[in-house]
Amino acid sequence: MQDVQAGLLPLPLGFVKAFLVRGAGKHVLVDSGTAGNSAKIVAKLERGGVNPRDIGLIVVTHAHPDHTGSLADVVQATGAKVAVHRLEAERVRTGVSPPGAQNRLSRIFFRPSEKPSASGVEPDILVGDELDLNPYGVAGKVIWTPGHTRGSVSVMLESGEAIVGDLVLPRFMSFGPPAIAFWAASREDSLASIRRVLDLKPSIILTSHGGPYRPEALDKLRER
């Protein structure tokens, strides 16, 4: 983790992580973990010297419940606006998780459901291809990186960190080299998004599960 600048704080929440990006006056939170984590997030922010009301924006990398489960409660605690890709917006509004891959194997393990898996939240900002984070106090941008879901996004910071959500996961879920989840919506889109991230020359890749990874650890995926 030596390439992670002091302005970025990983927030471990069990098997998943959220991230705080400190900014100029206001800060950005990336994801909110599973349901029931709001109090833990607030406590971690306060221990890090951050007033939760100084969170100006919450970026949702994608609408799976381990990333949005506590979103409604965190919005209430912080008063922050919510940014999500336009293709993921309806899922955030309804709290219904987006479908993964449509291959037969993934449907055995991840059956589609239209029942809410998290409390719905009305997004404030719909992301297209990019969103500049400088107006929210952070030097960086959100970019569209479809693959894990159609509306997945990553956060690229000018300090060198790339926060990529579940674009890549540890091969063995909690450890191992980076891989693409077999339940990803599109393996081809995932590979294209990995190339896009690497083309921006990050110094380190921060993932929501496991990691972090050096960019060269993803080179084999780039070349496929």
**Residue 1 placed within a domain:** no
Q: Which two tokens stand for residue 127?
A: 């992301």
DSSP notation for 137-164: T-SEEEEE--SSSTT-EEEEETTSEEE-
Which helix (H) or strand (E) segment holds residue 170: the answer is strand 169-170
Residue 2 lies in a domain: no
Decide if 130 is inside a domain.
yes
pLDDT in tens, 12-71: 999 999 999 999 889 999 999 999 999 999 999 999 999 999 999 999 999 999 999 999
Q: What mean pLDDT is reported for the chain?
A: 89
DSSP characters for 182-218?
Answer: TT-S-HHHHHHHHHHHHHT--SEEE-SSS--B-GGGG
Higher pLDDT, 155 or 220: 155
Q: Is residue 119 part of a domain?
A: yes
In a domain, 25, yes or no: yes
The CATH number of the domain holding residue 95 is 3.60.15.10
Q: What one-letter code names the amino acid at 191? A: L
21 SS3 class: strand
The model's pTM: 0.90
Nearest to residue 31, comparing CAs of 114, 159, 121? 121
* CB atoms inside a 10 Å sphere around CB 105: 10
The number of distinct structural domains making up the chain is 1
Q: Tell me, what's the pLDDT at 117?
A: 55
Count CB atoms within 10 A of the CB of residue 94: 17
Range of the domain at 141: 8-222
Beta strands 169-170 and 125-127 are unpaired
